[in-house]
Structure 1
Amino acid sequence: MHVVLVGPRAEIVRGLRADGHEITLLYEPGHRERVAVLADQVERICAVDSYRKVESLWSAVHHLEPMNPIGAVVTTTEWAVVAAAVLGQLAGARSLTPAQALACRDKGVQKKKWNAAGIPTASWRVLCNSLASEAEAESWLAESDLRFPLVVKPLAEGASKSVKVVRELDEFVTAADSIDGGRAMVEQFVEGREWHFDGIVENGKLSAFMVSRYSEPLLCTKYGKPIRSIALTPALNPDVYDSAADLTLRALHALGLTTGVFHLEAFGEPGTFVASELACRPGGGIVGEMTQRVIGVDIYEASARVITGDPIPRWAEETELTHGWTILPTAPGKLNNVEAEEIMKIPGVDKVIMRLERGSAMRNMAEASTLGVGCAAVKGRSVAECQRAIDAVVAAVERIHENAPLEAAQT
């Protein structure tokens, strides 16, 4: 089958090659280095100016002619989800439908469908235009059932980009105006523990499913705390899995997503879970590493195979140990001084993936929740042991940053 892959992802290319597919890769110029590594594994490559633009993707495949008819269009890139689905429909190929893709991207469309299906979620309202004044903001809020604190976010972004918690009227106006285009999702701030549920749905049923919980809500990344996540072992947490699976299936069915991979974030506790957001692509960070360890599935390879119809390889689930991971935090304004070998010495750590070379300038994690100098995977005999290992990793990285050179010292 000829498969168009929108956005470079090594795991996807590896899986498609193993299944014998012909690959056309479309990419944004910012991903040129990733593409160079994959160039000898794909049949053709073409740059596009934006993953979000159907026009750009559709014209690109015309510039690559002659080519075999497109059999499937796949992506793991959040910003390409809707455009890739439309391209699939235009090409008569296997893909998500545009309606499924939009419901999994636009938070307003998503929550409206959840409300209609009785899925518990925070109170919300879409702000269709930017606010001209505090008086206009006060009037807009008065027409809704929303009360401070509120969360203001783009309708279709990812990695917590441009998400803000506001507690006063002036903060609300400023946050709303900062969203590109002036259209935003405004929802009630939800207290409590945050979770993420990752897996595969096939023909309306969960064929792979993993439950994880964050050490702190994702919005804590806005205040310098990196993502820390622990995947619960299915055999050791059956009741939690039953409750999470119930919410997940209802949420998926309400959005019409019957076949695909997903990443669902939720708040609360088993029995009282509240749906937050659902994406029809694998989770970020090293969620793929966790699904391999915990439930015996490569969620990234599966995200293509569930579309192409190829069998999804599976191996034994974890039954005894607990696995977790963390982003290695940054210290903005300094140069990275962290080395994988040093982090690997910490008890419980069994894998470190560096994303930023030593000596490179570090960005602020407030920009995106997945920003970091790398990631570390840990394992332990219990959730508590796993959490201690994760906390030790974060503390060690922060100590290294204390003595890191300032970015200005590079010039």
Structure 2
Amino acid sequence: MHVVLVGPRAEIVRGLRADGHEITLLYEPGHRQRAAGLADQVSRICAVDSYRKVESLWSALHHLEPMNPVGAVVTTTEWAVVATAVLGQLIGARSLTPAQALACRDKGVQKKLWNAAGVPTAAWHVLCNGLSSAAEAETCLEQTGLQFPLVVKPLAEGASKSVKVAHNLDDFVAAAGLIDGGRAMVEQFIEGREWHFDGIIDDGKLSAFMVSRYSEPLLCTKYGKPIRSIALTPSLNRETYNAASELALRALHALGLTKGVFHLEAFGEPGAFVASELACRPGGGIVGVMTERVIGVDIYEASARIITGDHMPRWEEETKFTHAWTILPTAPGKLNTVEAEDIMNIPGVDSVIMRLEKGSSMRDMADASTTGVGCAAVKGMSPLECQRYIDTVVSAVEKIHENAPFETVES
């Protein structure tokens, strides 16, 4: 089959090649280096000005002619989900439907469908034109019944970009004003533990499913705390898995997603979970590493194979150990001096993936929840032991950053 991959992803290319598919890769200029690294593994490659533009994706295929008919269009890139689905429909290829894609991207559309299906979620409201004054913000609160604190976010972004917590009217107006385009989602802030559920739905049933809980809610990345996530071992946490799978199926069915890979964020505790957001692509960070180790599935390869219809290899689930991971924090304004060997020597760590070379400038974690110098995975006998391991990793990285040099600013 000829498969169009939107956005370079080595795991997807590997899987498609293993299944014998012809691959056309489309990429944005910002991903040029990553795409170049895959050029010898694909049949053809073309730049597009934006993953969000159907026009750009569609026209790229015309510039690559002649080519074989396209059988499937796939992506793991959040910003390409809707355009990829529309492209698939336009050229008669397998893909998510545009309706499914939009429901998994636009948070207002998503929550409206959840409300209609009785799926528990936070109270919400879409600001179609943003806010221009405190008086307008006050009117919004009076009409919707929302109360501070509130979460203000874009309708269709990713990695907690531009997400703010508003504690008063001034915060509310300022947060809404930061949203590109003006249209924003405002939600009631939910206290409590945050979780993420990752898996595959096939023919309306869960064919793979992993439950993980964050050490702190994702919004804590805005205050310098990196993502720390503990994946629960299925055989040791059956009640939690049963409660999580019930919410996941209700949330997926309400959005019309009966076939695909998903990443669902939720709050609360088993028996009282509240759906937050659902994406029809694999989770970020090193969720893929966790699904391989915990439930025996390569979630990235699966995201393409569920569309192409190819067999999805499975191996044994974890039954004894607990696995967890953390993003390695940054120190904005400084140059990175952390190396993989520094982290591999810490007890419990079994793998490290560096994303920032030594000497590179470090971004602020407040920009996006996935910002970091790399990721580390740990393995222990219990969630508590894994928590201690990842806390130790984060502390070690922060200690290294204390002695890191500051960036020099040219005058």
Q: If the length of structure 2 is used for normalisation, what is the TM-score?
A: 0.99
Aligned to 2:313: 313
Aligned counterparts of 1:364 and 1:307: Cα–Cα separation in 2 = 36
**How far apart, CA to CA, are the structure 2 residues paired with 1:407 and 1:42?**
38
Change in Cα spacing, 1:410 to 1:177, as seen in structure 2 (3 Å) is closer
Distance across 1 between alignment mates of 2:8 and 2:139: 45
Q: Which residue of 2 aligns with 1:352?
A: 352
Q: Which residue of 1 aligns with 2:43?
A: 43
Mapped partners of 1:399, 1:54: distance in 2 = 46
Is 1:400 aligned to 2:400, yes or no?
A: yes
- Identity over aligned residues, as a percent? 82
CA shift digits 1:70-103 (9 cap, x unpaired): 1000000000000000000001000000000000
Query: What are the superposed Cα offsets for residues 198-238 of structure 1, whole Å, 9 maximum, x if unpaired?
Result: 00000000000000000000000000000000000000000
Counterparts of 1:410 and 1:391 in 2: how far apart (Å)?
36
- Which position in structure 1 is the counterpart of 2:29? 29
The structural deviation recorded for 1:271 is 0.2
Cα distance in 2 between the residues matched to 1:131 and 1:320 = 52
Gaps of 5+ in 2: none
2:69 match: 69
Deviations 1:258-297 (CA, angstroms, capped at 9, x unpaired): 0000000000000000000000000000000000000000
Match of 1:153 in 2: 153
- 2:227 pairs with 1:209: no
- What is the CA-CA distance between 1:61 and the residue it aligns to? 0.4
Quote the residue 2:329 is aligned against. Answer: 329
How big is the shift at 1:410?
8.9
Q: Would the alpha carbon gap of residues 350 and 409 (structure 1) be closer, same or farther in structure 2, given more than 3 Å must change?
A: farther
Match of 1:59 in 2: 59
SS at match of 2:38: helix
Q: Partner residue of 2:135? A: 135
Within 5 Å, give how 1:4-403 maps onto structure 2. Answer: 4-403=4-403
| SS of structure 2 residue aligned to 1:182 | coil
Tell me, in whole angstroms, the C-alpha distance in 1 between the residues paired with 2:6 and 2:132.
38
Following TM superposition, the consecutive aligned residue runs of length 4 or more in structure 1 with deviations greater than 6 angstroms are none
Alignment partners' CA distance in 2, 1:390 and 1:344: 12
Question: Residues of 2 paired with 1:137 and 1:120: CA distance?
Answer: 25
Post-superposition offset of 1:36 = 1.0
Instruction: Spell out, residue by residue over 1:361-391, the C-alpha distance to the aligned partner (whole angstroms, 9 max, x if none).
Output: 0000000000000000000011111110000
Q: Read off the aligned partner of 1:327 and give its amino acid letter.
A: I
Q: CA deviation at 1:130?
A: 2.1
The one-letter amino acid paired with 1:248 is A
Output the CA distance in 2 between the equivalents of 1:174 and 1:385. 41
**1:239 deviation in Å?**
0.2
What do you get for the CA RMSD once the two structures are aligned?
0.8
Specify whether residues 272 and 38 from structure 1 end up closer, same or farther in structure 2 by C-alpha distance, changes over 3 A only.
same
2: CA distance between counterparts of 1:105 and 1:339?
36
More displaced, 315-324 or 134-143? 134-143
Q: Distance in 1 between matches of 2:149 and 2:405?
A: 38
Secondary structure, aligned partner of 2:195: strand
AA matched with 2:6: V
Give 1:285's aligned amino acid. G
Q: Deviations over 1:309-344 (max 9, x none)?
A: 000000000000000000000000000010100110
| SS of 1:24 mapped into structure 2 | strand
Q: Give the distance between the partners of 2:403 and 2:234, measured in 1 at CA.
A: 41
Query: How far apart are the structure 2 equivalents of 1:113 and 1:338?
Result: 45
Once the 2 structures are TM-superposed, how far is the Cα of residue 53 of structure 1 from its aligned partner?
0.3
Displacement of 1:153? 0.1
Q: Which amino acid aligns with 1:301?
A: E
Q: Distance in 2 between matches of 1:142 and 1:352?
A: 49
1:352 Cα offset (Å): 0.4
CA pair 409-337 structure 1, distance change in 2 beyond 3 A: farther
2-side partners of 1:161 and 1:296: how far apart? Answer: 31
- Unaligned residue ranges in structure 1 (runs of 5+): none
- Quote the offset at 1:131 in angstroms: 1.5
Q: Which amino acid aligns with 1:166?
A: A
Whole-angstrom distance in 2 between the partners of 1:131 and 1:294 = 45
Q: What is the aligned residue count?
A: 411
SS at match of 1:70: coil
- The 3 A distance-change label for structure 1 pair 10 and 215 is same
Task: Return the alpha-carbon distance in structure 1 between the equivalents of residues 366 and 345 of structure 2.
Answer: 28
Q: Name the structure 2 match of 1:2.
A: 2
